[in-house]
Amino acid sequence: MKWGITIFIIIIILFVIFLFSAFTVDITKQAVILEFGKPIRVIKEPGLYFRKPFIQQVIFFEKRILEYDSEPTLVVTKDKKSMILDSFALFRIADPVLFLKTVRNEIGAQARLDDIIYSEMRRIVGQYDFDDIVSIKREEVFEEVTKSSQEKAKELGIEISTVRMKRVSVPEENLRKIYDSMIAERERQAALYRAEGQREAQRIKSEAEKKKVVILSEAYRKAQELKGSGEAEASRILQSALSSNPEFYQFLKSLEIYKKTLPGNVLIITPDSEIFKYLRSK
Amino acid sequence: MENFKEYPPLFKKKVPLKSIVGIVLFILILVSFSLSFYFVGPAEVGIVKRFGKIVAVHDPGLHWKLPFIDQAIKVDVMAIRRLEIGFRTITLNPPQYRNVQEESLLLTKDGKIVDLDFVVQYQISEPVKYISYVKEGERLLRDLAQASMRQVVGGYLFDEILTVSKDEIQNDVKISLQNILNSNNFGIKILNVQLQDVIPPDPVQPAFQDVINAKSEKDKLILEAQAYYNKIVPEAEGQAAKIIAEAEAYRTEQIEKAKGDAQRFKALLERYNKTPSLIKTKLFMEAMEMILPQVKIIVIDDPKGGMKIFNLPGDLFTQTTTIRQEGENK
């Protein structure tokens, strides 16, 4: 009976020791074992582990990628323009012992990263012009911020994977200026369209007028040529016919003219006129 | 135990105790047994963790695990997830959206601002990575998608973004986003990045509308001018054709008349040459015959009295033919 009780007590004690000493490290976590407050071991692989109860202490840290998210901050570029940058960074706790010594926990890390990334950003953005940051050199700028932040964060046991810009913006009054210049540009464009419309319409209309004059004057020329050649031809034909007896032609033509002009008019004649030739000679 | 047989009440008490223990054990076994199995749905992947370590990845179906010790996580890998950036859907039916300005206003290469909404569709393609390497993957994805979009949009001119480069931008964002997800082991696959509304910001929209108006005004003016052209030129051409036709007619007329006149003259001349004075007299008389009835004749019997005309009564020129003798007036 005595032995039985002893064994039972020993089992209970062992079980309690087991409960106090066993711990699991999840795949998302890493652990540091402290002995009397001094780190003696880092566990990065997941699994079941043991510690010496009471004298060893286990502290867990995230092993996954974490996000550092800053407040939007106002920075000034080389050409003295302000811009609002809202950055965030992806980071991991690479050296948990160092991390523990320098920043203790994730909240501490956020605060220190704030200092690092903010000051690096101010420093580097200040070396570039506004337009460059917005357009061509944006990647270069943030690459640089990432690199120098990485350097400094290393001292905290933190590995920064990348620093990125969630927002790149401008303060309200600068926004107004951008809008104004966009509006002015559009207004120019609209005015240009209207002027182009006027000009083009005018061009087409004057082209039409010009064409009209050209067509009509050409037609006039051709008509005159035709008429002239007709008249020339006609007089040539007549001439060749009449030249055989011009006097008789003159007589005929005179008669014709009388026939055309005299009827309806008053004819004042003397009795010795040719018409009365026979009247007289009677 | 034998001794107690004499006391049936006690015996009777003991049996329920034993069976209670049995029942508890039985239930315990049953629970353990039921906890040893778990079901992975048709769109899911099952991941089994033992002491924090991943020990098995299961396809859809019924699978075994250690009760109490193993932990099963199920991840839906088929679902197409959707991230709205620049706006949020409030209700689908009727469609109602809320604009999120701080997400949607982006600076372009030429220092302008564009209002741009987009949607990212993604799937959890590698569930082991997804649960192991990234904390708050979805929140990070939103920030990364915005960062990629800003970076890509910053490489294009405002006008390019509004007009021709949408496909390029979508593709660029998709690629750059996928790259950063891969290098950080997110286990997320971007299916597509779709630009929704890409418009000028509100304050400048009237100016943009005015450009559209100006453009249509321009087109209208040009069309009107072309209509004018198409009216004026054919009209002139018609007029020209008329002028030329008339001239041709005139030419022909002149020539034909001349020919006729020449022919007639020749014919007359032929006759005239035979009996000149006869023909001449005949022609003269015929002419007089035609003319005289139609003229008012005033005979002044004084070859040198031309001035007397002025003394003639005015009505003489309007009345029908009368012959007055000079002598009567004397």
* Banded pLDDT at B322 (limits 50, 70, 90): very low
* Banded pLDDT at B253 (limits 50, 70, 90): very high
Instruction: Tell me the CA distances in angstroms from B154 to A79, A252, B146, B157, B293, one per residue in order.
Output: 19, 100, 12, 8, 106
CB contact under 8 A, B147 and A164: yes
CB contact under 8 A, A220 and B288: no
CB contact under 8 A, A88 and B284: no
B116, B161 contact by CB (below 8 A): yes
pLDDT, tens only, B64-81: 888 888 888 899 989 899
Other C-beta atoms closer than 10 Å to the C-beta of B105 total 19
Rounded to an integer, the average pLDDT of A121-148 is 84
A76 pLDDT more than 60: yes
pLDDT, tens only, B273-310: 888 888 888 888 888 888 888 887 777 766 565 555 55
Nearest chain B residue to A224, by CA: B247
Neighboring chain B residues of A198 at a CB cutoff of 8 Å: 221
Radius of gyration (C-alpha) of chain B in whole angstroms: 59
pLDDT, tens only, A159-203: 998 888 888 888 888 888 889 999 999 999 999 999 999 999 999
Q: How far is A25 from chain B (nearest CA, A)?
A: 5
Question: Where do the domains of chain A lie?
Answer: 18-62, 66-175
Beta bridge partners of A59: A32
Rounded to an integer, the average pLDDT of B214-225 is 93
Candidate CATH numbers 3.40.50.2000, 1.10.8.60, 3.30.479.30, 3.90.230.10; the one for domain A66-175:
3.30.479.30
Pairing between β-strand B188-199 and β-strand A158-169 as defined by DSSP bridges: unpaired
A15 pLDDT more than 80: yes
Helix (H) / strand (E) containing B81? strand B81-85
Query: What pLDDT is recorded for position B65?
Result: 85
Query: What pLDDT is recorded for position A220?
Result: 94
Query: What pLDDT is recorded for position B311?
Result: 58
Nearest Cβ partner for A165 among B150, B186, B208: B150
Query: What pLDDT is recorded for position B330?
Result: 32
Q: Is A60 on the interface with B (CB under 8 A)?
A: no
* Banded pLDDT at B51 (limits 50, 70, 90): confident
Superfamily name with CATH number, domain B81-200: Band 7 domain (3.30.479.30)
Cis upstream peptide for B201 (omega within 30°): no
Rounded to an integer, the average pLDDT of B84-96 is 85
Contact map slice: A 18-37 vs B, CB within 8 A: 24-29
* Phi, psi of A46, deg, nearest 5: -70, 155
Question: Where do the domains of chain B lie?
Answer: 1-33, 36-79, 81-200, 212-291, 296-330
Nearest Cβ partner for A196 among B146, B184, B218: B218
- Amino acid present at A7: I
Mean pLDDT (chain B) is: 84
Q: Testing the interface with A: which of B138, B254, B277, B316 to mutate, by most A Cβ within 10 A? A: B254
Rounded to whole angstroms, how far apart are CA atoms B149 and B172?
Answer: 9
CB contact under 8 A, B261 and A241: yes
pLDDT, tens only, B18-43: 788 888 889 988 888 888 888 888 88
Q: Which of B148, B203, B154 is nearest to A130 (CA)?
A: B154
Q: Is A238 on the interface with B (CB under 8 A)?
A: yes
Query: What pLDDT is recorded for position B315?
Result: 61
Neighboring chain A residues of B257 at a CB cutoff of 8 Å: 234
